[in-house]
Amino acid sequence: MVDLTQPLEGLIYEKKDHIAYITLNRPDRANALHSSMVEPIKAIWAEVRDDPWIRCAIVTAAGERHFCTGADVGAVASRGRVAAGRGPLTEEVFWSPRQNRVWKPVICALNGTVAGAGLHFVVDSDIIVAANTVKVVDTHVNVGMVGAIENIGLTKRLPLGSALRLTLQGRNYRMTAERAYNLGLFDELCEPEDLMATAEEIAHDICKNSPAAVTLSQQALWGALEMSYRDSMEYGWALIRMHWDHPDMAEGPKAFMEGRDPVWVTGEEDPDGEASDDG
């Protein structure tokens, strides 16, 4: 059992104003991912998923040069293999919110170069904010690895040719932040010093909304990526009907007409352990 109140291997985890902050913290190793980080990141995502007090998460990294350069190649070389086993994906890979069944909005705040396995966080987050100095590169094939999981995610956010160029050209092609923004991979560009303020502004806006409506809306849009248009419409309609009996459906219009902030039903506990139903 990982104690999230204690220092974590390669990670910083903090909570404030209904937002969970997850910071990759190995700047001396370009924030590369190490097997020792697997259990802590699983524990963090489990809390984000299950704690109703948390309404949104921001993933970022320490330092100014790198967000994450993927798997720690030095560790892989010393072991002669990657840390994951040969089981199903759902039993082996746990870096991103989707891989941990998290249905709360996640903002990825890119402070520097993102490569390889670092792309897990990019392709599986909901909103991507990036410093205008960021570069995107994929080096799987340069070190003899298959670019597949993160790279398949890229095909959902980029034109196929752009995803293939990143995957196949390897370290010799670095996509600029401006190019990534123009292609739709990034949602917001900003100066490096404005990165966290921009991400937090988006997160605070999300936290003001009905948590129940947010999570169902999120599931409707992600689900559409895996279904035909007709099936995704039926799925969306089912989610809408599911929400009709939720108290927030009455509270939202009522608060609007009364000119006040809505009081959402959350079932949360605040950090002092007292039950709270307010927004």
Q: What is the pLDDT along the chain (279 residues), one digit of tens a residue?
A: 899 999 999 999 999 999 999 999 999 999 999 999 999 999 999 999 999 999 999 999 999 999 999 988 777 766 656 666 789 999 999 999 999 999 999 999 999 999 999 999 999 999 999 999 999 999 999 999 999 999 999 999 999 999 999 999 999 999 999 999 999 999 999 999 999 999 999 999 999 999 999 999 999 999 999 999 999 999 999 999 999 999 999 999 999 999 999 999 987 644 443 444 554
**Predicted TM-score of the model (pTM):** 0.93
What's the confidence (pLDDT) of residue 275?
40
What's the confidence (pLDDT) of residue 267?
75
What's the confidence (pLDDT) of residue 47?
98
Nearest 5°: the CA angle 74, 77, 79 is 110
Of 234, 207, 208, nearest to 223 by C-alpha is 234
Is residue 129 exposed (0-12), middle (13-18) or buried (19+ Cβ within 10 Å)? buried
What's the confidence (pLDDT) of residue 168?
98
What's the confidence (pLDDT) of residue 72?
82
Q: Are the folds of 11-207 and 211-276 the same? A: no
List the chain domain ranges: 11-207, 211-276
In angstroms, the CA 1 to CA 169 distance is 41
What's the confidence (pLDDT) of residue 271?
43
What's the confidence (pLDDT) of residue 274?
42
Spatial contact of 98 and 118, defined as CB atoms under 8 Å apart: no
Does domain 11-207 correspond to CATH entry 3.90.226.10?
yes
In Å, what is the CA distance from 35 to each residue of 24, 49, 66, 83, 142?
13, 22, 19, 6, 21
Does domain 211-276 correspond to CATH entry 1.10.12.10?
yes
What's the confidence (pLDDT) of residue 272?
42
